[in-house]
Chain A
């Protein structure tokens, strides 16, 4: 187990290092100098040089890369070119919207997919199963931002149950905040719930064909009891993996959904920074998202090894 963890840890660090190099390199080839962009075309050379020094742009690329990575490791993400405030502070404000939104969607996705998957597997080949599978095909095909617009049309504009967008902040109470995240979370959860339902169903069906399930039935358990007691637990291994991976999808997905609901999350921060050519913010936020995805995948790998001893043995 220790050897497996060490091996995964080394690969985690390597992935993060290569990813950071790629992001840094891509941002580096961006045309234009941030300092001249900020000061405009009439800037004096001395002012320009002073600003370049202030932003840390006057040293070599290698030094800047080391400074950037070192800064990120200590929580210093640099200073925004447009707002002149620390990027870390801006990110901290926005992450309080994006992560709860992704988690909320993840919970919804699980709450929808588990019963739906169980129901379909228990009624395999019958009308109920076909209905659920048809619905999941549709769920996968629906673009989440379009579904979000339809939710706004129905529940915000026509029924007036929810507001069409915006976020009151957590200071106004958890209920108000969660309420404003509800429609975005539903929109985000729909395609993921459809995928998870399919995984849940096929994992259960795979388990149902196993010998120990036949034994359970042979010892007199009913179809339902076998499914609940033995089927569900064994089917959970692939399902948990997918749930872990889905969190990264949801996290990245918030970027678009935030646009529909005007939520002040990381996604809006990225788009504002792109239009303002505030590349240091783009660089740091992208690195943060990629960091999140790589670390989640690492944790999923570890969790997988914990529940499936065969994987540890193979490493």
Chain B
């Protein structure tokens, strides 16, 4: 196993574990306000200090990571649920009008920068975590449709698929039974990358007020709150930021490591 893979898996596991533990335990209750104990610097009873309302930063990061991970995961799920079938259908009808329609539809969605899509959705339906998820979910659909189609196209020319067709299996049957398992590696790698992107997107949208709304803590919201206080309480901004970097770095390294591990040809060429 490569060092990249180990480091990536370790970092990702650490943050996912912190997020999961926050479901049952945090060092302090993240909803308890303690105004006299506000803006404590790191060290002491509060490991990473307290915010302007006296809430424990470490506990908030644990819960915030949970929110961010949940938002990114659900959006990833939307992308997978719609993107994979679309990609499989496009590859099945490669060159036909259905393929053309799906791919041009993808192009249109790609023309909307993610942030612009989120702005459009929240401008109309109001800011919320759900709308941030929908925006990023929609953005994920063409990503997975493309990856699935790209991986599936060469497979349709292979002998074992031909054999399955000769055996009388329908194209839909072949797509699910033979094509999908063979593009799974590509999807796992892309999924890790989109997961990491989702963490960044959640943070960015919540930072500008279009994502997770108070009082739910999220890493992006913590940074938004910290913005006006960065001059006298920099730790409010530094730690949530480092948490985002940690999760994203971990997932990106994991994706890179998985890509190399799952595709020996690529590994040789990159070496």
Q: Which residues of A contact B (CB under 8 A)?
A: 11, 14-15, 18-19, 22-23, 26-27, 29-30, 125, 137-138, 140-143, 145-146, 149-150, 152-153, 157, 248-249, 251-253, 255-256, 259-260, 270-271, 273-274, 279, 282, 286, 289-290, 293-294, 297
A-B Cβ contacts below 8 A, count: 117
Q: For residue B244, which residue of chain A has the nearest CB?
A: A143
In the bound complex, how far is the Cα of B202 from the Cα of A174, in angstroms?
36
| B:187-240 near A, CB below 8 Å | 196, 200, 203-204, 207-209, 223, 226-227, 230-231, 234, 237-238
List the 5 closest pairs (A to B, CB-CB), nearest first.
A252-B113, A146-B241, A141-B248, A141-B249, A30-B124
- Would you give the shortest CB distance from B138 to chain A, in whole angstroms? 11
Candidates B104, B120, B196; contact of A282 at CB < 8 Å: B120
Min CB–CB distance A286 → chain B (angstroms): 5
**Is A256 a contact of B208 with CB atoms below 8 Å?**
yes
Q: How many residues of B contact A (CB 8 A)?
A: 39
Which residue of the partner chain, among A15, A125, A137, A259, contacts B249 with CB atoms under 8 Å? Answer: A137
Is A27's CB under 8 angstroms from B111's CB?
no
CB distance from A177 to the nearest CB of B (A): 23
Cβ B252 vs Cβ A153 within 8 A: no
Collect the chain B residues with CB atoms within 8 Å of residue A150's CB.
Answer: 237-238, 241
Q: Which of B1-45 contact A (CB under 8 A)?
A: none
Known: A137-B252, A256-B208. A293 touches B231 (CB 8 A): no
A145–B108 touching, CB < 8 Å: no
Q: Looking at chain B's contact residues, is the secondary structure mostly helix, strand, loop, or mixed? A: helix
**Interface 0/1 of B227-271, CB less than 8 Å to A:** 100110010011001001100110011000000000000000001
A252: which B residues are within 8 A, CB to CB?
Answer: 113-116
Q: In the complex, how many angstroms separate the beta carbon of B12 from the nearest chain A beta carbon? A: 12
Q: Is B177 an interface residue (CB 8 A)?
A: no
Closest to A278 in B: B123
Q: A19-B111, A149-B227, A249-B113 are in contact. Are A141 and B245 (CB under 8 A)?
A: yes
- B121 within 8 Å of A by Cβ? yes
**A143: B residues at CB distance < 8 A:** 200, 203-204, 207, 223, 241, 244-245, 248
Residues from chain B with Cβ under 8 Å of A138 in the complex: 245, 249
Closest chain A residue, CB of each to CB of B114: A252
Determine if A149 and B111 form an interchain contact, defined as CB atoms under 8 angstroms apart. Answer: no
Q: Bound complex: CA of A15 vs CA of B105, how far in Å?
A: 9
Cross-chain contact A260 with B241 (CB below 8 angstroms)? no
CA A285 – CA B3 in complex, angstroms? Answer: 46
The reply to whether A22 and B108 form a contact with Cβ atoms under 8 Å apart is: yes
The distance in angstroms between the C-alpha atoms of A279 and B121, with both chains bound, is 12
A27-B123, A286-B120 provided; 17 other pairs, C-beta below 8 A? Answer: A15-B108, A18-B108, A19-B111, A125-B271, A143-B200, A143-B204, A143-B223, A143-B244, A145-B207, A146-B237, A149-B223, A153-B234, A252-B115, A256-B207, A279-B123, A286-B119, A290-B116
Q: Are A157 and B231 in contact (CB under 8 A)?
A: yes
CB distance from B61 to the nearest CB of A (A): 13
Q: Closest CB-CB distance, B258 to chain A, in whole Å?
A: 15
Contact check: which of A30, A137, A251, A259 meets B123 at CB < 8 Å? A30
**A30 closest partner in B (C-beta):** B124
Q: Are A149 and B230 in contact (CB under 8 A)?
A: yes
Q: Are A260 and B227 in contact (CB under 8 A)?
A: yes
Check if B249 sits within 8 Å of A270, measured CB to CB. no
Report yes or no: B124 in contact with A27, Cβ–Cβ below 8 A. yes
Q: Which residues of B contact A145 (CB under 8 A)?
A: 204, 207, 223
Which residues of A sit under 8 angstroms from B175, Cβ to Cβ? Answer: none
The distance from the CB of A253 to the nearest CB of chain B, in whole angstroms, is 8
B245 to chain A, nearest CB (A): 5
User: In the complex, which residues of chain A have a beta carbon less than 8 angstroms from the beta carbon of B116?
Assistant: 252, 255, 286, 289-290
CA distance A22 to B231 in the complex (A): 43
Residue among A255, A274, A282 having the largest count of chain B Cβ atoms under 10 Å: A274
B123:A274 contact, CB within 8 angstroms: yes
Cα-based distance from A142 to B252 in the complex (angstroms): 12
Given A15-B111, A290-B112, CB of A153 within 8 Å of CB of B230: yes
A-B contact pairs, 16 of them (CB 8 A): A19-B111, A26-B121, A138-B245, A138-B249, A141-B244, A142-B241, A145-B207, A149-B226, A150-B238, A255-B119, A259-B207, A273-B123, A274-B122, A286-B120, A290-B113, A293-B111
